């Protein structure tokens, strides 16, 4: 039997080698293992010697051909941003919650503006929103700092004598904190949709069921302050707005994960990967109406939200510094008016 037929039988799935490959392999075999002449004294062993040489030749040729035949290239499977979001949502839904009587969220607010000066200023403040078991609601905003954030602005500020920029800590000693929102609307998800804390916690954890439950509260005329048909709310934007508020609320991890997927399918929403962290918000994002909801892809936790200028550059952000349950009752800063209420 021809040794190359033996190779074919041993390697039925290997790609057929070219004539050049076979010639090179044959040259290597016979250069390495030449067949010696057979003497008369070894005539009886001739058959065994020939079989051994053929076996050695086959082994050498098989190895040579295996080396010469290129291995197929395995391309990595690409993971889409939507698949990453689905994975992040699944991890969030599986996250156990801490126990406690009070839910509290601390958000750092950042805004870049000229603020009446000839240079750009970055303002920072801390905003708190909290809910208690007996319909208590707490909320206040504390200014933190105002300062130039570009090299040119810093130089111009110093040329002006480094004046104190407000709002910031110490700007108004009589008002260190103030209520920034109407606390009566603390749990409102959309116009006409204001669940209690218990109802919010019992919302569905599956996107289709959550969509149906939210839309049960939809009324096309509810957004019109005077029932002007031109101001009536459209269903899908109304639903997307409710999902946005739900993601950053005391809802369960499963419900918030379902809200991610609900918002991802809203008209005009785009899932964006590798968002540059202008304000430290670096991750996976749901981009909707000039803003990005930034998510940690490893845990599914909300990192914050940032707003984009027409050129796509972030100019303002809400950074979630802390959110969750505890038994510590929130305490509003002294002299903070309208910072506590009852829903």
Per-residue pLDDT of 265-286, as tens digits, reads: 999 999 999 888 789 898 899 9
Contacts by 143-150 with C-beta closer than 8 Å and gap 24+?
143/167, 143/168, 143/169, 143/171, 144/108, 144/168, 144/169, 145/169, 146/115, 146/121, 146/122, 147/121, 147/122, 148/119, 148/120, 148/121, 148/122, 149/112, 149/120, 149/121, 149/122, 150/119, 150/120
Cα 105 to chain centroid, rounded: 20
Instruction: Answer whether 196's CB lies under 8 Å from 187's CB.
Output: yes
| Mean of pLDDT values over 9-21 | 56
Partners of residue 291 on adjacent β-strands:
288, 307
Global confidence as pTM: 0.75
What is the rounded distance in angstroms from the CA atom of residue 63 to the CA atom of residue 51? 18
Cis check: omega of the bond before 167, within 30 degrees of 0:
yes
**pLDDT band at 128, cuts 50/70/90?**
very high
Binned at pLDDT 50, 70 and 90, residue 172 comes out as: confident
Over residues 229-238, the mean pLDDT reads 75
Tens-place pLDDT, residues 131-140:
999 999 999 9
Q: Judge whether residue 46 has pLDDT over 60.
A: no
CA distances to 203, 205, 257 from 212, rounded to whole Å, are 11, 12, 16
Which is more confident, 154 or 24? 154
């Amino acid at each position: 039997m021809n040794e190359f037929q033996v190779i074919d039988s041993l390697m039925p799935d290997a790609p057929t080698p070219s004539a050049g490959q076979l010639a090179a392999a044959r040259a290597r075999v016979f250069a390495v293992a030449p067949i010696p002449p057979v003497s008369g004294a070894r005539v009886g062993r001739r058959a065994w010697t020939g079989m051994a040489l053929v076996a050695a030749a086959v082994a050498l040729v098989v190895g040579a051909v295996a080396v010469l035949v290129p291995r197929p290239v395995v391309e990595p499977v690409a993971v889409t941003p939507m698949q990453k979001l689905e994975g992040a949502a699944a991890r969030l839904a599986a996250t156990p919650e801490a126990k406690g009587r009070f839910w509290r969220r601390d958000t750092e607010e950042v805004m870049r503006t000229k603020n009446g000066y000839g240079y750009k200023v970055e303002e920072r403040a801390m905003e708190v929103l909290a809910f208690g078991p007996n319909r208590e609601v707490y909320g206040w905003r504390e200014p933190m700092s105002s300062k130039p954030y570009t090299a040119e602005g810093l130089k111009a500020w110093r040329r002006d004598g480094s004046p104190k920029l407000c709002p910031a800590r110490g700007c108004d000693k009589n008002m260190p904190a103030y209520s920034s929102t109407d606390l009566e609307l603390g749990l409102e998800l959309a116009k006409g949709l204001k669940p209690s804390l218990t109802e919010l916690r019992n919302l569905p954890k599956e996107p289709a069921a959550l969509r149906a439950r939210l839309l049960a509260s939809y009324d096309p005329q509810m957004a019109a302050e005077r029932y002007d048909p031109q101001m009536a709310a459209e269903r899908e934007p109304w639903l997307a707005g409710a999902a946005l508020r739900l993601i950053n609320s005391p809802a369960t991890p499963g419900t918030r994960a379902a809200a991610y997927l609900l918002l991802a399918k809203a008209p005009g929403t785009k899932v964006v990967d590798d968002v540059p962290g202008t304000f430290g918000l670096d991750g996976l994002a749901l981009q909707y109406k000039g803003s990005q909801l930034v998510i940690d892809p490893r845990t599914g936790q909300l990192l914050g939200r940032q707003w984009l200028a027409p050129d796509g550059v972030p100019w303002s952000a809400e950074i979630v510094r802390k959110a969750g349950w505890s038994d510590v009752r929130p305490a509003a800063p002294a002299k903070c008016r309208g910072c506590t209420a009852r829903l």
